[in-house]
Amino acid sequence: MAIPERNLALELVRGTEAAAMAAGRWMGRGDKNEADGAAVTAMRYMLNTIAMDGTVVIGEGEKDEAPMLFNGERLGSGVSPEVDIAVDPIDGTRLTAMGLPGAISVVALSEKGTMYDPRNIFYMNKLATGPDAAGVIDIEAPIEENIKRVAKKKAKSVGDVTVVVLDRPRHDEIKSRIRQIGARIKLIPDGDVAGALLTCKEEGGADLLVGIGGSPEAVITACAIKCLGGNMQCKLWVRDEKEAEESRAMGLDLDAVLTLDDLVKGDNVFFAATGVTDGDFLKGVRYEGRRIRTFSMVMRSKSGTVRYVEAIHHPKKLCTISGIDYAPEYEANHQ
């Protein structure tokens, strides 16, 4: 009988829970840097307790001038297995700071050397869908064609198709084209990882995600979609000619279509996410005085298992056994 392998996703979720609990206290307080800093510190602490030899391939990165969880940082206790790690302590930092829905904390892991490194490219053009239409999308085809294909595959009319689009001026043209063909649009202010995952969720209310978003988020999303059986295609998107020249000098092909297997190779991918603020995909953190309640999902591509985890945490106890202050005001209020 084969011995079941260790499901690292069940350990990763401790990192997303920690990040969500730390960041959630900053919901609506208008300071996205404080929210992000709290999430980064908490996630890093927990990931360093895991028995693994991890390297951050997709981290906070140069764009965020991150002091921790930066690209190339080593995480874990330093023992086998060797793994690539992708983190986004808050996908939706602004959403958290403004008290808006849809922010989540995410981390993904795969075998060493299997995650795509976008290097200097901060953005990608993305097309994603769930399992039911995984085989019919084509990022090089017009959006109208992709909508028709998805509609046919799902046995619904074009007017029933819902497309998730980041609310950015750069997407004005594609929004117009989606409207002209008669499909529906779900605009999201930020957080396209959660937006893409909606296309894979039963009764999630979305069929496609399209548009230009962060390249780190694209790799993280690919890890999740591989676990869920959907599909994703991307193309690198440069902001100006200088970035294009730098990319070509590095040997990057700006015209290449990056498939799901280009973004994350193999089929031993682990993913965990915890809600920070309430969203369509996961509920946000609940602070209940002596308890904190979190809502998470953990997935593994090799087994296809998806778990939804509702956890109850006792902040006073957690503070005594970890380096994270989960209850900064608890002691003052309960003397």
Q: Would you say 129 is a known binding-site residue?
A: no
Q: Would you say 177 is a known binding-site residue?
A: no
Q: Would you say 190 is a known binding-site residue?
A: yes
Can you give the C-alpha Rg of the chain in angstroms?
20
Q: Would you say 53 is a known binding-site residue?
A: no
Q: Would you say 168 is a known binding-site residue?
A: yes
Q: Would you say 229 is a known binding-site residue?
A: no
Structure-token match 């409207």, residue found: 179
Q: Would you say 253 is a known binding-site residue?
A: no
Report how far residue 131's alpha carbon sits from residue 151's, in angstroms, rounded to the nearest whole number: 13
Q: Would you say 37 is a known binding-site residue?
A: no
Q: Would you say 293 is a known binding-site residue?
A: no
Q: Would you say 262 is a known binding-site residue?
A: no
Q: Would you say 184 is a known binding-site residue?
A: no
Q: Would you say 315 is a known binding-site residue?
A: no
Q: Would you say 84 is a known binding-site residue?
A: no
Q: Would you say 214 is a known binding-site residue?
A: yes
Q: Would you say 217 is a known binding-site residue?
A: yes
* Residues in binding site for substrate: 91-93, 123, 168-170, 190-192, 214
* Residues in binding site for Mn(2+): 36, 60, 88, 91, 217
* Residues in binding site: 36, 60, 88, 91-93, 123, 168-170, 190-192, 214, 217
